[in-house]
Structure 1
Amino acid sequence: MSADTQETAEEIESRWDDLAATLAERFPKAAALMHEAKEDVLAFRHFPKDHWRKIWSTNLLERVNEEIKRRTRVVGIFPNDPAIIRLVGAVLLEQHEHWQLEGRRMFSAESMATIPELGDTPTLQAAGA
């Protein structure tokens, strides 16, 4: 299931429910897990449709993880946990500075203005938040 192939948030939710129902008989634990995780996994549908692809994608996270793996392979063996934490922290800081200096933004200021307020999302309204 991909956010790109779906027309509306309702269709995405319906496909999720259909898949969970299909699994329920043979894999009741998986269906229960899907039911519990539904809101977390499908949270992107509460954002403007223009944002779905970027929210859905894990490309940025994968790129950072690959850089961390590359750097840890170069070091090989770490003397202790704080040494690992320093290296990973340095990689993350370097990535943050890179994004800040380039002025890279995932979303424009105009598209960010279309994001609903937290209290306006249907799930939070139903939960009484």
Structure 2
Amino acid sequence: MIVPSRDNRESAEFLAHLLDLEVGEEWGPFIPVETRNGVRLDFATVPPQDLRLQHYCFLIPEDAFDAFFARLKETGVTYHADPQGRLLGELNHNHGGRGVYFLDPGGNGMEVITQPYEPQRRRPASW
């Protein structure tokens, strides 16, 4: 999946750090980050006029959330509990888990949750 950004390296490193992932080697205009379930995000620098708010949601295990959240707070990025940004500095507890919204350096809307939206959906077996 191509993720547009103001600076591909900055955005890739930001997300990789938060989710405790590795940044792959640059190839062409892309800086890749692969998630633990095999989804590859290719960060690409695009002109500012081509940037549009995109939303990316990441499902992580409950036992990984505290470490992720500590890294998020260390960045100083503004976070909130709702997609509209009204519940500033709060987490949500939707679907019996925890979740948070924030913007990456490229202006993309990021969401990290510990429970899927659909209760019948199974969580990943391992992180």
TM superposition score normalised by structure 1 = 0.21
Greater percentage in helix? 1
TM superposition score normalised by structure 2 = 0.21
Q: Which has the larger radius of gyration?
A: 1
Greater percentage in strand? 2
The structure whose RCO (Cα within 8 Å, separation 6+) is larger is: 2
